[in-house]
Structure 1
Amino acid sequence: MSDDVDTITFSIESEDGSDEITVPSGLVDLVSEGDQTDAETVGDVVLLSFASRAHHLVHHGDGADDDLEAQEARVMDLFEERFGVTFGEATGHQH
């Protein structure tokens, strides 16, 4: 049954390598907003995921050092730049 679901593959490249990720294309359509491209939608999900994970590590983990707190602060700045709202405003989860 899952083989009947259409997928879409995205390429990710950085200075130290590359990877591909394949996801159901219907999920990309489901979470897209307005006239976003598929790549923009996946970019939003990636940034949201990193922000969420960083938030969890800093505020709900076993303790964060100064470097991790700085990383979390930076990803939250990037989140606000991209989405126009803070992570707390977007998720309703504020500290």
Structure 2
Amino acid sequence: MSDDVETITVSITADDETTDDVTVPAGLVDLVAEGDQTSAETVGDIVLLSFASRAHHMVHHGQGGDEDLEAQEERIMDLFEERFGVTFGEATGHQH
């Protein structure tokens, strides 16, 4: 059954010129897209949300963070707010 689900492949290129492709169900991308977002924008939103969520968890719910990890978490939260126009806490309802 899962082989019948249409997929979409998104290519990722990093500043260091490495690349990777990620394949996800196209319907899932459509489901989480907001408005007329492109597939690339939607996947980009999910990537940023995932990094913000992971960083938040490591700093606030994990083993504790050192100064570098806390700085990384602060930076991803700034980038999150720049992209989405709200804080991570406002977006998720999870604030400390």
Return the TM-score normalized by structure 2: 0.97
Paired residues in the alignment total 95
Aligned to 2:13: 13
Quote the offset at 1:79 in angstroms: 0.2
Deviations along 1:21-48, one digit per CA (max 9) or x if unpaired, are 0000000000000011110000000000
Stretches of 4+ aligned residues off by more than 6 angstroms: none
Match of 1:94, SS state, is coil
Quote the offset at 1:78 in angstroms: 0.2
Flag structure 1 segments of 5+ consecutive residues without an equivalent. Answer: none
Quote the offset at 1:63 in angstroms: 1.3
Aligned-CA RMSD value: 0.6
What are the equivalent positions in structure 2 for 1:1-95 lying under 5 Å apart? 1-14=1-14, 15-95=16-96
% same residue: 79
